[in-house]
Homo-oligomer: A and B are copies of this chain.
Amino acid sequence: MNKWEENIRKVVPYVPGEQPQESGVIKLNTNENPYPPSPKVYEAHRKIEIDCYALYPDPAASELVTALEQYYGLEHGQVFVGVGSDDVLALSFLTFFNSDKPILFPDVTYSFYPVWADVYRIPYECPELDENFRIKPEDYRRENGGIVIANPNAPTSIGMKRSEVEEIISSNPDVIVIVDEAYVDFGGETVLPLLKKYENLLVVRTYSKSRSMAGARIGFAMGNKRLIQALTDVKESINSYTMTMESIRIGAASLEDEDYFQRNLRKIVETRESAKKELEKRGFAVLPSQTNFLFAAHQKAEGQYLFEELRQRKIFVRHFNGERIGNYLRITVGTDEQMKRLFEALDEILGE
């Protein structure tokens, strides 16, 4: 080993879901939205002129920030935007979790949380979900350096009631509680109304799921002004200009088409509920989903086997190793046509 290698930061990186480049693939593995964003987004894209590229974007991303503040009825200074919610969350770990005490998040949750903790050398502990894959609020009463809850949780798809999340927030007034609401638009109960009541609450959202804009990399955090200022200060210590000029504009445009947004959400929820029934018919146990994906285990066929058989048929779903979840598939809710193709493939694999 060269001497310079000694000082390279040791990490075990997150492994993202595959982004297959082949054609004819049915992609149900990274919880993207099967429908395009609003035509207003495309209109904003088309209006961009070539001269705009030479200038730095507004470092405050004011157009997007203001649009989000208005959309959610918040005051100026309560919204922070970043390059996807992963950027916002990672930055929040770096900004808020500087204690020697361990931060807490569930043993089964978004697998980036332990990765961020590792990269920033933050100690952590992981209370176990109960036997129904539910978060137990009472587990979050121990001493800690901060808390992260995905609600609804991933990959379980299960949501908590606002009152349950509030129990966690209110019993931890001395640390920051981050509630990652990446999937909340699909039927979860948001804690946004609690922002008025708790200074230690940070709510994080993304454009990648409900707003059909994973390709534009937009995430945001909402909280009291002190928290948003702290995030901004740390962000300004790393990169002043993180959002592209295009993402700022199209992100704001997306908020102008509420009808389209709501229709899109309704359609996905309908497909999710019918897909759940179809999976159950075929012998799957499916957790109750408040997201745009289903977490399902077959009573006979193993998760890894189904994952590989589907993959051979060019249907990509997600499979995680792990004692409790190794038998489950995480299946993104696609279009009705895509789900039909999934069921046909499952029928073939399961021999029905």
Contact = CB atoms under 8 A, between A and B. Distances in A.
A213 B173 contact: no
17 contacts: A2-B174, A4-B199, A8-B96, A13-B237, A14-B237, A14-B240, A16-B241, A21-B58, A32-B54, A36-B51, A41-B50, A53-B213, A83-B83, A83-B242, A86-B239, A87-B238, A90-B238
A244 B244 CA distance: 8
B54 A213 contact: yes
A283 interface: no
A53 B30 contact: no
Nearest to A218: B244
A3 interface: yes
A73 interface: no
Nearest to A21: B58
Q: From A46, A53, A247, name the one whose CB has the most chain B CB atoms within 10 angstroms.
A: A53
Please name the 8 residue pairs, one residue from A and one from B, whose CB atoms are nearest each other, closest first. A13-B236, A215-B245, A3-B174, A16-B240, A119-B237, A86-B239, A54-B212, A42-B50
B54 A214 contact: yes
A55 B234 contact: no
Interface of A: 2-9, 11-16, 19, 21, 27, 30, 32-37, 39, 41-42, 45-46, 48, 50-59, 83-84, 86-87, 90, 94-99, 115-116, 118-119, 145-146, 173-176, 199-200, 208, 212-217, 226, 230, 232-247, 250
Given A3-B174, A217-B242, A95 B9 contact: yes
A35 B16 contact: no
Contacts of A87: 238-239, 242
B237 A115 contact: yes
B59 A7 contact: no
Given A7-B146, A53-B250, A87-B242, 11 more contacts: A3-B175, A11-B234, A19-B56, A32-B54, A32-B56, A36-B51, A36-B54, A45-B45, A57-B215, A86-B241, A217-B242
